[in-house]
Chains A and B, each alone.
Chain A
Amino acid sequence: DAKTTQPNSMESNEEEPVHLPCNHSTISGTDYIHWYRQLPSQGPEYVIHGLTSNVNNRMASLAIAEDRKSSTLILHRATLRDAAVYYCIDVNSGGYQKVTFGTGTKLQVIP
């Protein structure tokens, strides 16, 4: 599976935008980029995913670089509830698209 690189931790002030970066140095041409998050004491939660184009949903926006070697998850207005570990994952389109979690970025939101 392709490995991604994320900062271990980030901080954001409440009600400000947050940009969470991810490097996808070994991504394959047909791998999807998925983002999940895990709130304290909860299961992982799907946030957003994309292939080449930028994507928006009610939770976040995903900006994907033209060469797909990097992506950025954008939370438009951080709330205390967004404090979580965020994972970016390259999902192999071959086989059965297994999602493999790394260590992620722990986001702290400061009131």
Chain B
Amino acid sequence: EPEVTQTPSHQVTQMGQEVILRCVPISNHLYFYWYRQILGQKVEFLVSFYNNEISEKSEIFDDQFSVERPDGSNFTLKIRSTKLEDSAMYFCASSEGWGYGYTFGSGTRLTVV
């Protein structure tokens, strides 16, 4: 069964450093998403991406965050200057389109120290 692949599975970074989280969505999917989950809390929507541009973003997704689909297969989330409160699990998801379910990756655990 097709999978969404995320790398790395765990990243530790120092406060203020830039991190890039990587995702390979399912190849025929057109919609891409990033979510995060702080330990013990709800899964929160960050951003959706379609046709090479952001289609919607939450208030969490401020100027420190950016997304990119650099080569037609990868989908990345960049956090420019990490803060302690960015520590969370980050999930990538993709969808074939309207009326289809989402497939989630297994996540990247980001720890900011």
Contact = CB atoms under 8 A, between A and B. Distances in A.
B105 interface: yes
Q: How large is the interface on B (under 10, 10 to 19, 20 to 34, 35 or more residues)?
A: 20 to 34
A38 interface: yes
Contacts of B44: 101
A46 B35 CA distance: 15
Nearest to A48: B101
Secondary structure at the A interface, as helix, strand, loop or mixed, is: loop
Interface string B27-58: 00001010100000011110010100001100
Interface of B: 31, 33, 35, 42-45, 48, 50, 55-56, 89, 91, 93, 95, 98-107
Given A34-B101, A49-B101, A93-B98, A44 B43 contact: yes
A97 B98 contact: yes
A30 B35 CA distance: 24
9 contacts: A36-B101, A44-B91, A48-B101, A97-B95, A98-B48, A99-B45, A101-B35, A101-B43, A103-B42
Nearest to B49: A96
A43 interface: yes
